[in-house]
Amino acid sequence: MPYYYFDLMIDGRPHDQGGMILEDFAVASDRADALASELYVIRPELHSKRCFVRVVDANNVEIYRTPIDPVPKWSVKTVQS
């Protein structure tokens, strides 16, 4: 199983949030989304500062990022059938 590292990015600088062995990319991206949601609640000073959580692999290559501030529902396009 691969090892993933999580960083809180503030002003373009990474702040290590730890790492863990996870099953795959889908689980790592879910963990990053959950971390971003938690940081939004416990770190209100990060609101509206364009901070995000990024996931990097063992080669230090960014493979996913998610914003701390939630994406407004009105900005998400939906496909209607």
pLDDT in tens, 2-55: 999 999 999 989 998 889 989 899 999 999 999 999 999 999 999 888 899 999
Q: How far apart are CA 30 and CA 69, in angstroms?
A: 16
pTM (2 d.p.):
0.81
Sequence ranges of the domains in the chain = 3-75
Residue 77 or 13, more confident: 13
Inter-CA distances, 28 with 6, 19, 53, 55, 62, Å: 9, 10, 11, 7, 12
Q: How far apart are CA 43 and CA 64, in angstroms?
A: 21
Q: Are 49 and 15 in contact (CB under 8 A)?
A: no
The Cβ of residue 49 has, within 10 Å, a number of other Cβ atoms equal to 12
Q: Residue 8's pLDDT is what?
A: 95
